[in-house]
Amino acid sequence: MERELKLSEKLFCLSVNPKSGGILMNASAALSMTLAGSVFVELIKKELISIENGTVHLVKPTLQNDEIHEFFLKPIRLREKDRKIRTCISWFSARGRKLRKLFILDLVRKNVLRIEEKRFLFIPYDKIYLKDRELVESIRKEIEATLLGKTQPSDDSIILAVMAGKTNLMSRIFPERTQRKEAARNLKKLPETPISKAVQEAIQMMHAAVVAAAT
């Protein structure tokens, strides 16, 4: 089984509570939104779509073996008109339960996560746990190095750090408050990457709406 993780898969892994399993409470509200944004970045990099003036354009209608990418491309193919990236992210974010299920199944197949059946008041449910902790820790260290200036960051590392910040994962990545404050300052100074600028702007607008609704 292929072990290399995509941007969106790395983000999902970081959102899993490393101690007690399940999705971290801080990350839960924004996760579907940032997962959708991360997948759009991946589709752009694969030259399957493009974004011009904030609008998503289908470039290659080819069917994808990647189940998550196909989940995103199928409705884009079926639409007669191009849509704004903000509208697309909102649409997929609203289908967060299905989206998370796809990520869980994919990461279980890759032996990164495991599923354990639990019961609450005799009602069965599945809970996810990290299986490959070493791999997930390496992802955390990648963001740590990017935001603390320990290495020259790649475009992928910058995008991952930005998405992690918008998913409220800073306390997960930086348990120490001093480092967390330094990382938060450096996060604002990261250069924009052309491939993700439109996606980041759309997520920023949606993130602001989520925060406003919660206050």
pLDDT given for residue 204 in this prediction? 65
Residue 133's pLDDT is 96
Domain 7-214, architecture per CATH: Orthogonal Bundle (1.10)
Q: Where are the domains of the chain?
A: 7-214
Flag whether pLDDT at 207 surpasses 70. no
More confident residue, 214 or 181: 181
The pLDDT of residue 139 is above 60: yes
* C-beta of residue 30 within 8 angstroms of C-beta of residue 207: yes
Token couple for 59: 């470039």
Phi, psi of 183 (to 5 degrees): -65, -40
Q: How far apart are CA 197 and CA 184, in angstroms?
A: 19
